[in-house]
Amino acid sequence: MTDPIWIADNAPSARWPLYTRGNVGEVFPEVVLPLTWTLYGKAAEDGWRDAFRDLGLLRPGDIDANESMTILGVFGGYCYINASYVRLLGVRAPGGTVDAIDQQFFGESEAPAYVARPGDKNLGSTLRLGGLVLKLLRTTSLPQLEVDKEQVAEFVARRPSSAASDAELLSYLVGFQPLFQQLFARHISNTFSLALVSGALADLCTKAGHPDALVAILGGIGDVESAAPSAAMWDLARRATETSQVNEAFAAGVDGLRERLTEDSAAADWLVAFDGFLTEFGSRGPNEWDLGSDPWALRESLALSAIDRMREADSSHDPRSQATRLAGERALAVTRVLSALKGPDKFMFTRMLRATTLFSQGRERSKTTIIRAIHAARLVTREIGTRGGQRGGPADARAVCMLALNEVAQFLDAPASFAEIIDGRAAQREVLADLIPPFIFEGAVSHPSTWDSRGASHATLEVGAVIQGIPGCPGTAQGRARVVLDPGDPRGLGTGDVLVAPLTDPSWTPLFLAAEAVVVDVGAVMSHAVIVSRELGIPCVVSAVGATTQIADGALIEVDGSTGRVTILET
């Protein structure tokens, strides 16, 4: 291995050399902070292995015992997923294909075609996975997710107070590792169970002669926790417009908004509702898997900015009315497919549909549970950083995240002695953050000195040009492209606009309700943008490669969420 570029970097796998930013790019969109990765990067890897072993995909000999990281990795500071190994689900699952796995998890890319190798096919794995599918079809509930919620609630409740000793704070963080591994294993199990049943559902739609029906069938299933914050923000936006004093306070800008609302007694009820929102959803936000990020509870201006954009949206964007529309379209699509299938296939379709719905909900629920636990660890990390600042270290409590876990105890003893290390890593992070890591690499990632800068200029598309992406949520919409690179700066996004974004995590999705449609550079069928847009009823296209650089801001575009086509109508 060449020398690591970033402190969290590891060596790529020798046997499984293909890595991608697909899917993980919306989980860790930025340079991964050292404390985050040294606290639970290995726990994520081990949890993933646990899940694959339980599912029947991971077989003895698949992974080199000397490789501590195989399925996940950090290269040049950015997190990647091992596409080589994940593709095995398409090889080993009965009826699976590598192309289907690529589309589900990674989207459009220039990934090299799969080349079969000795050992890729495994009869034992295929039999296990086949048996698993039958088990999934009989599953009607996921009670373990409620157990996980209870465990996380207990973990959050015993978070050490500011009066705790240094040792108690560190013990709490270290104790998070086994919990994270367990929770992450559950999340991966739900994710790949969903891939198996939804893939089979897609096959039945194709067999019925209606492959296009799948997008509508997966829309509006309800009870998807990742969509709940956006719906709650919509209600807050409606309440804001109905109270003139609150509406006027928003109209004066987000800066100083909390202070203006606090000073006006007429805004008291609205503030109580907003604080309730932060209590329920404050752990969500930008880069929410990383300890050093500021979710809505720590940077409420992001939530207020999203609510501000929603104030101007008309009632057609109401997620409840959209849910009603989507449920109707879903029922029609289901009827259309069922009418074209014969007896046994009808039975299988009904079971596959139930399982797909259940595991779609379960996947998002397991993610929400993990994020709540991470936020508790984040708050303890901030307390450690605050103590370091009080003892002569950096004033910014987040600076401790520039350290590895094994450096934190020494930092608490002599924080000033780490100033040079923290400053050096912070400077290096700034350099890496300004670069675009390769979406795909095989064997070894190129050196960052060869990567494109995020500020590089690109030629924009002419009238009539089409970007072909992946359908996310059905529906067609026209609007002016609003190219937004930071969810905290939506650049006036409002009615009549189409949100064009590089990727989406929960800090982005509330903006969906202010837009006519959404276009995302990266993403796949299993991506956050797709899951949420299908619940909110916003036409969506993901994996529209180069959309943010090739679509001119202000261009009139048409988005077809059923076909994945984005057409330039006017520049």
Residue 437 included in any domain: no
Q: Which tokens hold the place of 91?
A: 């090889």
Residue 215 included in any domain: no
- Residue 213: exposed, middle, or buried by beta-carbon count in 10 A (0-12, 13-18, 19+)? buried
> Amino acid identity, residue 325?
R
* Residue 508 to residue 499: CA distance in whole angstroms: 10
> Is 297 in the same domain as 402?
no
* Residue 319 to residue 532: CA distance in whole angstroms: 11
Closest CA relative to residue 435, chosen from 4, 2, 5, 1: 5
Average pLDDT over residues 269-293: 96
Q: 32 with 428: CB under 8 angstroms?
A: no
Residue 306 included in any domain: yes
> Is 249 in the same domain as 182?
no
Residue 525 pLDDT > 90, yes or no? no
Residue 485 DSSP label: S
* Residue 467 to residue 559: CA distance in whole angstroms: 10
pLDDT (tens digit per residue) in 160-194: 999 999 999 999 999 999 999 999 999 999 999 99
Contacts of residue 514, defined as CB under 8 A and 6 or more positions apart, other chains included, come to: 306, 309, 310, 312, 313, 317, 490, 493, 494, 495, 497, 499
Residue 326 included in any domain: no
Per-residue burial over 164-189, b = 16 or more CB atoms within 10 Å of its CB, e = otherwise: eebeebbebbeebbebbbbbbbbbbb
Residue 450 included in any domain: no
pTM for the model = 0.94
- What φ, ψ does residue 440 adopt, rounded to 5°? -135, 140
Residue 549 pLDDT > 70, yes or no? yes
* Residue 26 pLDDT: 86
Contacts of residue 488, defined as CB under 8 A and 6 or more positions apart, other chains included, come to: 286, 299, 301, 302, 305, 507
* Residue 386 pLDDT: 98
Q: Which of 277-281, 472-476, 524-528 is most confident?
A: 277-281
> Is 204 in the same domain as 232?
no
List the domain range (segments joined by +) for residue 539. Answer: 466-570
Closest CA relative to residue 248, chosen from 267, 268, 269: 267
Is 533 or 500 the better-scoring residue by pLDDT?
500
pLDDT band at 108 (very low <50, low <70, confident <90, very high): confident
Number of domains the chain is built from: 3
Q: Which of 100-104, 241-245, 527-531 is most confident?
A: 241-245
* Residue 459 pLDDT: 86
* Residue 276 to residue 269: CA distance in whole angstroms: 11
Which of 429, 449, 476 is a domain's end point? Answer: 429
pLDDT band at 2 (very low <50, low <70, confident <90, very high): low
Contacts of residue 430, defined as CB under 8 A and 6 or more positions apart, other chains included, come to: none
Which of 406, 429, 452 is a domain's end point? Answer: 429
> Is 194 in the same domain as 261?
no
pLDDT (tens digit per residue) in 340-399: 999 899 999 999 999 999 999 999 999 999 999 999 999 999 999 999 999 999 999 999
Residue 1 pLDDT > 70, yes or no? no
pLDDT band at 494 (very low <50, low <70, confident <90, very high): confident
Per-residue burial over 465-493, b = 16 or more CB atoms within 10 Å of its CB, e = otherwise: eebebbbbbbbebebbbbbbeebbebeeb
